[in-house]
Amino acid sequence: MGIKKEIPLGEKFLSIEVGKVARQADASAWVKYGDNVVLVSVVAEKEIKELRNFMPLSVDYREKAYSMGRIPGGFFKREGKPSEKEVLSSRLIDRPIRPLFPRDFFNDTQIMVFVLSSDQEYDVDFLGIIGASAALSVSDIPFNGPIGAVKIGKIGSKYILNPTFSQLDKSSIDMIVAASEESIIMVEGESKEISNEEMIDAIKFAHSEIRKIIPFQNELREKAGIEKRKVEPLPFFNEIFEAVKEKATESINIAIHTPGKAERNRKFKEILDNLNVELQEKFPDSEVVIERALEELTKNLMRKMVIEENVRADGRNVADIRDISIEISLLPRTHGSALFTRGETQALAVTTLGTKIDEQKIEGLEGDFWKSYMLHYNFPPFSVGEVKPIRGPGRREIGHGHLAERSLKAVIPAEEEFPYTIRIVSDILESNGSSSMATVCAGSLSLMDAGVPTKKSVAGIAMGLIKENENVSILSDILGIEDHLGDMDFKVAGTRDGITGFQMDIKIPGISYEILSDALQKAEEGRNRILDIMDSKISKPRPYISKYAPKIIAFKIEPTEIGTVIGTGGKIIRDIQEKTSSTISIEPDGTVFISSFNKKDGEDAKKMIDSILAVPEVGKVYKGKVKKIANFGAFVEFLPGKEGLLHISEIDHRRINRVEDVLKVGDEVEVKIKRIDAEGRVDLTRKVLLKRR
């Protein structure tokens, strides 16, 4: 059967068993952490279908409903398309694994991660990274691992390893770190305005725990004893590289010194087209290899330009941030809008305010909950000058939107302070580097423009790295080409007081904590420069919300009074909503939300609820309605659902023979409570409110 190893990790034991199940896959790992079980399988095609200039890897993470003891909702009662959480976890596993395949490995490869059992206390996506590493390590698939991953929280001054969902609610950090024994590979998460030092300490703490996971994966690999496949280098790569170097070095140098992205891309395409023609006779059918050689030479020359000349592709030095322009309130009928342009990256963010009925229901491992703040990111093809059909948000769009959403989360007001559902939509209109961080800036501006009482402005910046031996250059506000050909993509968002969101992918081993610390410091300096520009446009939320936004009144009643407001079968609350054109929702704790597009309608609805719950007071005057007439008097509803008797002798100072001579059903009449007896019966009077004639 399988090979199994187990180690203590935090509050639980981590065990990995390989070769137990899914034995027709190239390898599988059965990963257990407490009562959580994750199955990871890896399969790579034996033959290369076609040469491509990228690694054809797909990662699919799925949470089985049965893992939580649940049957899926909906008509079909089975799992459907991946949820947003599953897409994010798939990306999370992909990012640290992808760089560890050999550069010339082009076999179609698939990693599948199934959550089979969940204790609903832990988010288990980090187990997918560990399982993928273990399965790849014991397979014959070439892989430069193993790696490990852990989640980190912080409560007070104490760092928490693999915190539970309930611990994360109290934590100032929610971070996942993936690393090899020597180097950090990936960091992602959110925080509540932590300092640079806190972030570095959290990463160091994570790395010390990850180092416990690596050795026992190596033991599994040694026991499995499976020989790795040989990776054949690209045919004639060295010869083609030298030919490209000879023919194109000068034109590549001109291209990488070209400031505009479109013109730079045009020049590179022209170079590639010419090389394909010139080298076709000597190296037939080698377009992919020629493209790889061109990319490799471009990478070398661009990195040399940065290290030796301190000059980047658009002419900036390493610390410069591109020119920024900001427009707010540019869309007249939206609740809040901002256009943020930084160089050739442009984000249009629009904030919409909704009511309780606009909240999103989320079903996940931690149980069901309602989400009242969301950010959606769109990347239309025209933003990069391409023609593509729109098929709904892709994995990249979901991932970038999630990072921006987390980055702004720390400044979103609590529901008690601002009882609106908040949705931000970021449409990327132009892109050349870090559109997710432009989304953070534009999103923060649009929130303030909408009158959302955000605590502070939030800005984001993407940092890059060029490392050649001992020569290191940290780049601020990186371009797309610097992300692609550089050694690091480190996105950091935050306020002036600390970091709120981050995502780091490192492509080379051996980055020191000193370099990370330096990158964080430069990110803070850049972030503050961007915040200066943002604050010069709008530095605090508008004191009012848009006249087109719904008006919400929130207040509390006693939970025991909820039934009184709702009425039998919802009769009373429906009547209030119809009469006031408002929407009313009541939480189990007695919090009442009244939403309307007219302020007066909401206030009228509140008055009606107050009247329903009002306690009758002796001596107080009320405006009531005659509901029924008897020989001895009239029954008057003086508060909603509360009636009293107006005796015939209390109607007027003069003698009345018949009640109908003065009152009829439906008449509105002012009455005063005369007395309330021990059984709660109310006697009313009218004559004391009339002048004697």
Radius of gyration of the CA atoms of the chain, in A:
33
562 shares its domain with 532: no
- The predicted pLDDT at position 359 comes to 84
Whether the Cβ atoms of residue 32 and residue 67 lie closer than 8 Å to each other:
no
Identify the helix (H) or strand (E) that includes residue 151: strand 148-155
331 shares its domain with 383: yes
Which domain-ending residue is among 203, 224, 245?
A: 224
Of 571, 476, 473, 585, the residue nearest 522 (C-alpha) = 476
- The predicted pLDDT at position 390 comes to 86
Segment 447-472 mean pLDDT: 94
- The predicted pLDDT at position 342 comes to 96
Which range (74-78, 129-133, 641-645) has the least confidence?
74-78
564 shares its domain with 505: no
- The predicted pLDDT at position 209 comes to 96
Whether the Cβ atoms of residue 669 and residue 650 lie closer than 8 Å to each other:
no
Q: How confident is the model at residue 610 (pLDDT cuts 50, 70, 90)?
A: confident
Of 434, 497, 505, the residue nearest 465 (C-alpha) = 505
Q: Is 382 contained in some domain?
A: yes
Q: Is the pLDDT of residue 1 over 70?
A: no
* CATH of residue 282: 1.10.10
- The predicted pLDDT at position 693 comes to 66
Q: Which structure tokens are listed for 283?
A: 């190296």
29 shares its domain with 65: yes
- Tens-digit pLDDT profile for residues 328-345: 999 999 999 999 999 999
202 shares its domain with 59: yes
Q: Is 317 contained in some domain?
A: no
Sorted by sequence, the CB contacts under 8 Å of residue 135 that are 6+ apart come out as 18, 25, 26, 27, 28, 29, 40, 41, 42, 111
Q: Is 496 contained in some domain?
A: yes
34 shares its domain with 154: yes
666 shares its domain with 592: no
- Tens-digit pLDDT profile for residues 544-595: 999 899 999 889 999 988 998 998 888 889 989 998 999 999 989 999 999 9
The whole-angstrom separation of Cα 270 and Cα 263 is 11
Whether the Cβ atoms of residue 527 and residue 502 lie closer than 8 Å to each other:
no
More confident of the two residues 95 and 692:
95
Cα 183-92-11 angle, rounded to 5 deg: 75
Q: Is 318 contained in some domain?
A: no
- Tens-digit pLDDT profile for residues 12-57: 999 999 999 999 999 999 999 999 999 999 999 999 888 887 889 9
Q: Is the pLDDT of residue 612 over 70?
A: yes
The whole-angstrom separation of Cα 523 and Cα 476 is 7
Segment 420-435 mean pLDDT: 95
- The predicted pLDDT at position 358 comes to 85
- Across-strand partners of 3? 18
429 shares its domain with 513: yes
64 shares its domain with 114: yes
Whether the Cβ atoms of residue 128 and residue 89 lie closer than 8 Å to each other:
yes
Q: Give the structural domain span for 525.
A: 324-537
Q: Which structure tokens are listed for 31?
A: 């990963």
H-assigned helices in 283-427: 287-309, 395-409
Which domain-ending residue is among 173, 196, 224?
A: 224
Predicted TM-score (pTM) of this structure: 0.88
Burial status of residue 484 (CB atoms within 10 A of its CB: 0-12, 13-18, 19 or more): middle
Domains: count for the chain: 5
**Residue 183: other Cβ atoms inside 10 A:** 14
Q: Is 368 contained in some domain?
A: yes
Q: In whole angstroms, how far apart are CA 652 and each of 534, 627, 628, 684?
A: 70, 18, 18, 12
At residue 181, the 3 state secondary structure works out as coil
497 shares its domain with 646: no
Mean pLDDT, the chain, integer = 92
Q: What does the chain come to in residues?
A: 693
The whole-angstrom separation of Cα 493 and Cα 403 is 9
Q: 332: cis peptide before it, omega within 30°?
A: no
Q: Is the pLDDT of residue 159 over 80?
A: yes
Segment 535-539 mean pLDDT: 96
Which domain-ending residue is among 197, 224, 251?
A: 224
Q: Is 645 contained in some domain?
A: yes
100 shares its domain with 175: yes
CA atoms lying within 13 Å on the CB side of residue 393: 22
* CATH of residue 650: 2.40.50.140
* CATH of residue 468: 3.30.230.70
- Tens-digit pLDDT profile for residues 106-124: 999 999 999 999 999 999 9
Whether the Cβ atoms of residue 228 and residue 142 lie closer than 8 Å to each other:
yes
The whole-angstrom separation of Cα 457 and Cα 437 is 13
Identify the helix (H) or strand (E) that includes residue 603: helix 599-613
Q: Is 316 contained in some domain?
A: no
- Tens-digit pLDDT profile for residues 492-520: 999 999 999 999 999 888 788 999 999 99
282 shares its domain with 366: no
Q: Is 668 contained in some domain?
A: yes
CA 210 to chain centre: 26
Measured over the CA atoms of residue 199, residue 205, residue 208 and residue 213, the dihedral's sign is: negative
Q: Supply φ then ψ for residue 257, to 5 degrees.
A: -95, 5
Q: Is the pLDDT of residue 638 over 90?
A: no
